[in-house]
Structure formats: C-alpha cells, structure tokens
Amino acid sequence: MSVNTNSLQLSDYLEKLPGTTFKRLYQQPSTAFAIFRRMLPHLAKTIVMAMLYMPTPFLISDLEIWVKPTSKRQKDQALATLRSLHIIQSAGPQSMTLTTNFRNSLRLALEGGGDHHSFGVPSTLPVPSDVDLGFLDRYARKKWDDILHYVVNSVEYSDMRDRDTSGGGPKASVKELLIAGRLVEKRSVSTISITQAGFTFLLQEANSQVWTLLLLWLEAADAAGSRAGMDSVDMLSFLFLLASLELGRGYSTDALTEPRRNMLPYLVDFGLIYIPPHDHQQYFPTRLATTLTSSESSLRSVSAGFLAASEGGISDAGDKNAIILETNFRVYAYTSSPLQIAVLALFCELKMRFRELVSGKLSRQSIRKAVDMGITSDQIISYLATHAHEQMHRLAAAQKKPLLPPVIVDQIRLWQLDTERMSVCPGFLFKDFESVREYEDMANFAGEIGVLKWRNDRKGMFFASKVEQIKDFMKNRLTPTGIVLPKSEATTTTTTQTSRTAIPTLYSHANNENIPPNGSKESLKTKYKPFGSLPKSRTLNVFSNLTSSLSRGSLPSFSRTPSMSSTAGVSERTDQRSRTASVASSREAEVVVNPRQVTGAQSCEYWTGRFMALQDRFHSEMLLPENLTTLITAHAVRSHILPPPLAPLQAAAMPTSSSIPNLSYPKARGHKHTSSISSTSSNRASRELDATLLMDENNRARRVFLHLEALCVTNEAKKSLHTWQHSYARRMGKECLLPRGEANKGWVGRLLGKNDHGGKRGHMVGVA
C-alpha cells in the first residue's frame, strides 16, 4: 500500500530501461552477477541457477512440475521479475532460456576467467599506512552524514544552515543534485526546505539512500546527455563493479576507462570511494560501495556484528536499533547522534534529552505535523520497525507478538487517515472482456504476479499497476470463452478469438464519473488495434478508498462496439454471413445457402414458430454442463447471501443480454462479430449474474428477438418481425421486449451508463 512514487528505487529504474540497455549491461559479468544477487527473489535465483548450465531450453511444463502447486504465485512472480529484467526469454511456445549475454556473463562470474576486468584491477602500489577499515568507515560515515544533515537541517534548523554550509557540508555538486532530485527545494536564495521525497529519503535504510542518490545522479547524467560525456549505462555498470570490490583494498585507477575515471570525483563526494590526497593512482571502495548489492537484512544482522567489532565502524551499529516504543506512545531512543534525533523529531514530540538517551512521545499533533510535511504513516512505521531496539525484538520473539505494539501502529495509521483519505496509484484499467472466464483468468493472473490493485467482479473490470506481463499473458492465452452457447452460434475460430482478446479498453479517466467515455477518442481508436500496440503510458488514478463511489454503478462503461454509423447497412450483411459461417475464412461460400435467414416479410404464424423454436433451444442451454454448474454455484451462493434485488440485476443484465447473439449491434465489422457471438458481455462479471441471466424468461425472449432480428436480411423481414414482436410484447405485457428503439430507453440508458450507446442505437434503428 505504501506509495513510494517519489523515491527512486533501483528496481523501478531498471524496469524502465529498454531491452538493448540490458544487453549492454549484461556484457559485464560483475553487472550480471550483481543484478542476480540483488534484484531477484529467491525462487527466481534458484530457477536461473537451474537453467544456467542447461544445454536445452527449459520447458515451462517441467518448471510447473518442479514447483509445488501451492507456490504457483511465487513462481509467476519470479518469472515476471525475470522477464522484466530481460534475464529469460521464451525459446519457442512453451519453453524459455536465459538471454545469451546474461548467461555468458553469469557463467564467467561463477567460473572466473575471461578478460573482462569487471571485478576491479587491484593496485600494486603499497597501501598508505593510515588507510585501514576503521579509517574508511569513518570517512564514509562522515561524508554520508554530511549529506543527510544537509537534508535534515533544511527542515527547521535553518539558523544552523550557515554554519553547516561553511563548514564540512557536502560539496556543491551534491547539493545541486539533491535540489535537482527534489529531495530539497530552494525556497529563496538562501533557504532551502525539504520535500516529501526528501522525507522518504531520510527514513530509508542507508543502502536504499545510497541507491536513491546514485540513481538521481544517473538520471541527471542522462538528462545532461552526451554533453557531459557520461553514459548512464556505463555508469551503472561501474557502480555494480564497485559493489563487487573488496573493502580495504586499493584498486588501480589507471585500469579504468576515461569516462569511469571521470566519475571518481563524484563518488568521492558521495563517500563511496576514498582516494588518498597524495596518491591518485589508487582508490579504495568504502563500505557504502561494497554493500551496494547486499540485501537489506544482511546489513542489519551480519555486518552489524562486523561493525560492532571494528570500532568506529560506520555507525549503523550506533544509530540503528536504538528505539524503544511502548504501548503508551512513549518513544525512547538510545542515541546521541544529532542526525537520528533530528529524524525522530520529525514525527515525535521530544520531551527530554539525556546523555545517550532521548525520550519523547507520539501524539496526534506530532503525527499530523509529519503527515502535513508529507511523511506517510507507513514510512514512520517502517522507520520505527527497522530501528527497533534489540530489546523489542527479544520481547516480541519471547511473547510471539508483533514487533511494534499493534495499538500504536493502528493509531499512527488512523491519525494519518484523519488527513488523507485516498491513495493514488498510476496504472491501467482492464475492462470489456469477452467472457467471464477471460476476465477471471486475467484478473487472477494479475493477482498472481502481484500487480492487481483493484477488481470488481460484477463489473468485470480490474485495475493493474503494470501492463507488460499481462500483455504477454493475453498473447499466450488460448482459452475457450465462457458461457457456452448453442453450437450453431458458437462457432468461432481460435484465431479471431485471440485477436479479439486484446481488446480490453484502456480507461483513461476514472475519476470523472460524469464524462461520457466516448469523450476519449484515442481509446476508441486503439481498441481494435493488434495487441502489441496497446498504448503504454496511459495512466489513471484510482482512488482506492473511494471504491464505494466507484462501485455505485455510475462508472460509465464503454460500449463494446465503437459506433461506425455510416456503413451500417453494409456491415449488417457481412455480419450475418460471418455469424453463420463456421470458419471465418470460408464464410463467403456458405453465406447464401443458409436457410435460417429471412429474406421477405413473413406472417405472424411463421414468426411464432421460429420464436418458439428458438426459445426452446435457448431454454435447453441451461442444461449444458457449464451453465448448469453456473446455476448450481449461484444457487449455493444465494443460499448464503440474501438474494440481491432483482431489478438492478436485471438492469445490469440488459446490455449483456443483447450481446449474446452479438448480432444485435449490426454496426460492428464482420469478423469481430464472429468472435464475439459466443462471448458473454463484458459486464457479466459474476456467476450470479450469469445464473440470473440464464433463468430470466424476459432475457431469453429478448435474446430470441435479437437473434431473429439479426437473421433478417431485408428490411421487409425486419419490419414484419417488429410488428410481430410488438404484438407479442403487448400481449405479454412486457415493455422490455419491445423492439429496440421503441422501448423506453430512458431509464435503461441511464442506469446502464450506456449513454452514448443508447443514443447511437436508436439512431441506428432509425436508419435501418
């Protein structure tokens, strides 16, 4: 839930890189090694290692056998990560391999050998006597603390600012970087103030902080472009190289390429490396650099031991793990580091200060103040958790309770909720699916790979934060459609089916409920494009805390068929042909001989006969195995939950009903129709709904009419059908069965949100 849109994360940065960049990155073994070590989830590492020396492509089916069925979710997530980092590629329909560069580089890294010098060329010069581990740690710590101080002090200690800047503050270049990265912003010439990103930055772990700053630097270099002679890919490679170096050793600067040597001064400013003032032939990586690719937890546990052992180590030992939080909202911090005290003061009311101890209290005001400054409750909680005192860990372990008192955690969140009620996350809305099953498959898949943010089964829509994996999934998906229809209508070819699968429309502005969706012309245009060209950057904000208003039924849904009114008459014909044809390609030949088509005006008896026949057949649909299960499931559901009022259901069902023989929209292009015949509509999200549809007499009758109407080739036929339909509807007293355009479309249209559609429809009928 935590939204870190403002703070840069390495994974986000890498994901944005194009595939060619990865190819270049993976040319260097240390980079492949570092990405493997740092970026992959555990299972993904295992899979990569299994594939590394495999001579043949790894079959997906084999992988599925290997992974326990209960861990499907983890497997999918692992594969998703691997794909997004361009580590695996598919080698055929159901198998995958490692990408060539990655495989070669990782093999080289494991085996040694080659001539890539990517693990640093050690310097042969004697190490200066004053450079040892303790010195490097002190040096790195001082540099880094200077940077943090600069950020923190921008909050309120503005009186101290002058002293700091004149004193040992960070270099001007670093300051510029902080300002450019909007961690702090310049209010006027002399004052700076921290931004929300700055707070996020402050509350991160040291390791993430370093990465944040480095990524800012990379982006700045990218922006500067070739002018500065910096290549961000090469820079990133160099950073990974630094991470593989050994602490306390000197490395030769001569072996570096020119651009990399130019990077050294900046790295010195960050405190990542140390260059002896009198000796520019060698550089020493500090702990900040060598732990770049370590996982966060290892920094806490293992190296904490090392740090404690080597005195004067980078002070995580001192300033971490020092906070005790009690259930009465009191906070005690065993620290004397001004930096940590300053950070604590951001969200705590500090009351007392002793030597080595500060005590304070969390209060509504203090949290509100922090939230107003842009700190989120999640940041506060995670800061408290990562810096919790050893005693708290021990107590939590002994009592088997959560680390932080639940009362406090909840209260901090509630205090934040007082001020903020929504969280924003950019992403993609998927809707207008072919069938319930398709919707469910995709939504479940999105859930499995962890990008699903919101779903509404009834509306058949879901919202995902990333689209690439889902895109691939849609491409590979070869599943038959949901509700089975009578065979004659249900003939679709798989090919059209898949091409149609790509359609879920991108929804461009969810927050404006009242704007009719056809306002976004682009989305209509892109709708029928082949899948690869799904627009990527269409973002939208979902207000997840406002779901109540979203689910009110007022969210307009797109009409599934874009209006193409001018060619109505023509497409109507192709439409019917394609429906009857069993295979799309050979449809032309079979068109003429279809005896079901109605060419002329027919008598009342004729229509009655056809009506009854069709109605019977639709009725027997209920007995198809799949539909039967739907009914039974729905029945089971209903026995638990009170049956929902019928009226809204029916209302929601209306547009879907019309889509069953999808011919009811004669405006769409022919081949699209073939595929959509067998489909249920987009809105039919839940089984319950299906069941209602299946059971509903009116709906069935309506379907029959739509079907018949579609079979009418000529206007005379249609007219006679409408006459008969009129009398039938009057006799039965059912308004909803009136021919389209004559029914009271006012309330239907409103309720369904198909504003544009209703209008178009009426218009169409008029033309016809």
Partner 1 sequence: MNRIDASDHYEVTVTGQTPSLLTIIIDTNPRAWQALGSTLSISAALANILVFVNAHLAFGNDNQVAILAAHSHRAVWLYPKPPTTNGSSRNSSKNPLSKFKKANGGGDGDVEMTGVNGNGSHKAAPLGTSANKYPQFAAIESSILSSLQSLIAETDVSDIPYTTLVAGALTTALSYINKTALSFAPAKPSSSDPNANLGNKNNAGNGAAAAVAGSQQAPALHARILVLSVSDSEPAQYIATMNAVFAASHARIPIDTLSLSPHASPTFLQQAAFITGGSYVAASLNPRGLLTYLMLGFLPDAEARAHLLQATQDRVDFRAACFCHRDVVDTGFVCSVCLSIFCEVPPGDAGCLTCGTKLALGNYGNKPAVLPRKKKKKKKVNGVSGREETGSATGTPVP
Within 15-44, the residues that bind partner 1 by CB under 8 A are: 29-30, 33, 36-37, 42-43
The yes or no reply on residue 487 touching partner 1 (CB under 8 A) is no
The yes or no reply on residue 311 touching partner 1 (CB under 8 A) is no
Pick the stretch among 52-60, 84-92, 156-164, 745-753 that binds partner 1 (CB under 8 A). Answer: 52-60
Shortest distance, CB of residue 262 to partner 1, whole angstroms? 20
72-131 residues in contact with partner 1 (CB under 8 A) are: 74-75, 108-122
**Of the candidate residues 87, 96, 370, 409, the single one contacting partner 1 (CB under 8 A):** 409
Distance CA 220, CA 212 (A): 12
Distance CA 339, CA 150 (A): 10
Shortest distance, CB of residue 257 to partner 1, whole angstroms? 13
Name which of 306 and 531 has its Cβ closer to partner 1: 306
The yes or no reply on residue 56 touching partner 1 (CB under 8 A) is no
Pick the stretch among 9-17, 220-228, 393-401, 645-653 that binds partner 1 (CB under 8 A). Answer: 393-401
Pick the stretch among 66-74, 160-168, 189-197, 462-470 that binds partner 1 (CB under 8 A). Answer: 66-74
* The two three-digit tokens of residue 300, written as one number: 């806490």
Site residue total, partner 1 (CB under 8 A)? 73
Name which of 166 and 301 has its Cβ closer to partner 1: 301
Shortest distance, CB of residue 700 to partner 1, whole angstroms? 45
Distance CA 447, CA 138 (A): 46
Distance CA 244, CA 240 (A): 7
339-368 residues in contact with partner 1 (CB under 8 A) are: none
Shortest distance, CB of residue 571 to partner 1, whole angstroms? 52
HSE (side-chain half, CA atoms, 13 Å) at 2 = 16
The yes or no reply on residue 307 touching partner 1 (CB under 8 A) is no
Shortest distance, CB of residue 201 to partner 1, whole angstroms? 18
Distance CA 509, CA 538 (A): 10
Phi, psi of 434 (to 5 degrees): -65, -45
The yes or no reply on residue 66 touching partner 1 (CB under 8 A) is yes
The yes or no reply on residue 406 touching partner 1 (CB under 8 A) is yes
505-534 residues in contact with partner 1 (CB under 8 A) are: none
Residues sharing a CB contact under 8 Å with residue 747, sequence separation 6 or more, in sequence order: none
Closest by CA to 434, choosing from 394, 481, 375, is 481
Phi, psi of 696 (to 5 degrees): -75, 120
The yes or no reply on residue 247 touching partner 1 (CB under 8 A) is yes
Pick the stretch among 81-89, 173-181, 404-412, 740-748 that binds partner 1 (CB under 8 A). Answer: 404-412
**Under 8 Å between Cβ of 758 and 748:** yes
Distance CA 665, CA 756 (A): 14
186-245 residues in contact with partner 1 (CB under 8 A) are: 244-245
Phi, psi of 433 (to 5 degrees): -85, 160
> Residue 352 pairs with which residues in a beta bridge?
359
Shortest distance, CB of residue 463 to partner 1, whole angstroms? 22
Helix/strand/coil for 508: coil
**Under 8 Å between Cβ of 571 and 531:** no
DSSP state of 567: G
The yes or no reply on residue 167 touching partner 1 (CB under 8 A) is no
372-391 residues in contact with partner 1 (CB under 8 A) are: 381-382, 384-386, 390
Distance CA 685, CA 460 (A): 4
Pick the stretch among 67-75, 179-187, 356-364, 534-542 that binds partner 1 (CB under 8 A). Answer: 67-75
Name which of 105 and 571 has its Cβ closer to partner 1: 105
Element (H, E) at 425: none
The yes or no reply on residue 713 touching partner 1 (CB under 8 A) is no
Name which of 71 and 554 has its Cβ closer to partner 1: 71
Distance CA 676, CA 435 (A): 9
**Under 8 Å between Cβ of 151 and 170:** no
Residues sharing a CB contact under 8 Å with residue 350, sequence separation 6 or more, in sequence order: 341, 344, 358, 359, 360
Shortest distance, CB of residue 46 to partner 1, whole angstroms? 4
